[in-house]
Amino acid sequence: MSSALSKLTIPLLGYLVAFGPLSIDMYLPSLPTIANNLGTSDQLIQTTITVFLLGMAIGMLIFGPLSDMLGRKRLLLIGIGFYFFSSIGCAMASTGENLILFRFLQSLGGAAAAVLGRALVRDLYELKRAANILSHMHIISMMVMLISPILGAYIVSYFEWRWIFYFLALFSMVAFIGSALLLPDVKQNMIAKPSASHYCKNYIECLRAPLLIQYVLTNAFSFAGMFAFIATSAFVYIEHFQLSETYYAVLFSANIFAIIIATLLNSYLSKRYSVSAALSTAVAISFAATLIIWGMIGFNKTPLALFVVATMLYISVTGAIGANSLATLFAQLPEKAGTVSGLLVATQFAMGSFISYVASLLFDGTPASLLIMMACCGTLCSILYLSTRINKVI
């Protein structure tokens, strides 16, 4: 691979990881329009989001270990192709049920891009460089999360909602061509005819690895607190604090910028010192935010400024915790990077979906339920990470 092409590899890997946030956030502004156009209920159309998250989790658990047995590039191209045709199916859907089906299929293809993009980092780069690259890939995902709703709203305003899915199909076509031309075909210990026993063996071997479950759950609970915030923050800011939609959008975007800044700091720390030092710093910041959040639960009236600062501080380091946890596990299980990546990110999606659902059920119009969920998630994240440090000392 020439140096010119290799310079494009990292942006391409970030492009692949962006499949998830782009597919979800770009779609959100069009939900009421789609429900009206297809003549179905808002609840049914909202189900397409739940189904997509479920499909992403399932797809990651499937494509991760399969790529360890069959190789990354071939499965990546198959997954992206699957995403392309499913996106066309979404654009042509005539009923809400059809859209749900194609969104589920689309999520499976998107999962291949997301999980294999991360696994390829371990194949191509050594530990410190891998942690740095994973951090930069997370920044790309955050930038996509920032602009996706705006782009989706623009398309719905000037075109038909179906063009969102045509755009996603075009996005996947660019990813397919870029992956085919730029990504090396890394040779692994591939199995000619992988069986269910090989598949299960990969997961069993990973789960037996020292501290894997602790690192996976450290990341999962960190992200779960952020998902709880995403699920209820609009109601807290707009209804409880009586802020305008525009003011809320500004504060929400500020969280994204905080993540980017923290991720850049994490990239520096992982290169200058070590992945372990960077992860410890991120968890320490998360724990400090958690203590502030616990303190706010007892307030009769939650101060807006303190709420903004505490939640932003918590959310800012979620990407750093995820990138460093994954890089640490890659170092332990380099030959099973696909399985590890799939397990970590699938658990992240599954835990986040569950916690955000619980946060929505408990929401009572005040910040209390959100603060409790974030505080519990932050506490569990810190305890689980502390257990990894204690076990290493012992």
| CA dist 30 → 111, 118, 163, 164 (Å) | 22, 30, 11, 9
pTM for this one?
0.71
Region 184-209: what's the mean pLDDT?
63
Query: What number of other Cβ atoms are within 10 A of residue 46's Cβ?
Result: 12
Q: Give me the CATH code for the 207-393 domain, please.
A: 1.20.1250.20
Q: Which comes out higher in pLDDT, residue 44 or 386?
A: 386
Q: Which comes out higher in pLDDT, residue 357 or 301?
A: 301
Instruction: Please check whether residue 263 is in contact with residue 135, taking contact to mean a CB–CB distance below 8 angstroms.
Output: yes
Q: What is the pLDDT of residue 318?
A: 93
Class of domain 3-183: mainly alpha
Res 5 pLDDT > 50: no
Instruction: Please check whether residue 293 is in contact with residue 375, taking contact to mean a CB–CB distance below 8 angstroms.
Output: yes
Q: What is the pLDDT of residue 340?
A: 81
- Amino acid at residue number 26: M
Between CA 23 and CA 154 the distance in angstroms is 15
Res 326 pLDDT > 80: yes
Per-residue pLDDT of 270-293, as tens digits, reads 888 888 899 999 999 999 999 999
Region 353-369: what's the mean pLDDT?
80
Q: Cα–Cα–Cα angle for 93, 95, 97, nearest 5°? A: 100
Between CA 136 and CA 110 the distance in angstroms is 19
- φ/ψ of 303, rounded to 5, equals -70, 130
Res 41 pLDDT > 80: no
pLDDT band at 196 (very low <50, low <70, confident <90, very high): low
Say how far residue 311 (Cα) sits from the centre of its chain. Answer: 18
3-state secondary structure 42-108: HHHHHHHHHHHHHHHHHHHHHHHHHHHHHCHHHHHHHHHHHHHHHHHHHHCCCCHHHHHHHHHHHHH
Instruction: Please check whether residue 231 is in contact with residue 360, taking contact to mean a CB–CB distance below 8 angstroms.
Output: yes
Res 90 pLDDT > 90: yes
Q: Which comes out higher in pLDDT, residue 378 or 19?
A: 378
Instruction: Please check whether residue 46 is in contact with residue 212, taking contact to mean a CB–CB distance below 8 angstroms.
Output: no
DSSP per-residue string spanning 246-277: HHHHHHHHHHHHHHHHHHHHHHHHHHHT-HHH
Per-residue pLDDT of 94-130, as tens digits, reads 998 999 999 999 999 999 888 888 778 777 777 667 7
Q: What is the pLDDT of residue 2?
A: 43
Positions of CATH 1.20.1250.20 in the chain: 3-183, 207-393
Q: What is the mean pLDDT of the chain?
A: 83
Tokens standing for 163? 């063009």
Q: What is the pLDDT of residue 377?
A: 97
Q: What is the pLDDT of residue 362?
A: 82
Region 227-241: what's the mean pLDDT?
79
Q: What is the pLDDT of residue 152?
A: 80
pLDDT band at 191 (very low <50, low <70, confident <90, very high): very low
Between CA 18 and CA 77 the distance in angstroms is 16
Local structure of residue 28 (DSSP, 8 states): G
- φ/ψ of 210, rounded to 5, equals -55, 125
Instruction: Please check whether residue 233 is in contact with residue 359, taking contact to mean a CB–CB distance below 8 angstroms.
Output: no
Per-residue pLDDT of 56-67, as tens digits, reads 888 888 887 777
Per-residue pLDDT of 150-169, as tens digits, reads 788 788 888 888 999 999 99
Query: What number of other Cβ atoms are within 10 A of residue 42's Cβ?
Result: 12
Q: What is the pLDDT of residue 233?
A: 77
- Amino acid at residue number 379: T
- Amino acid at residue number 251: L
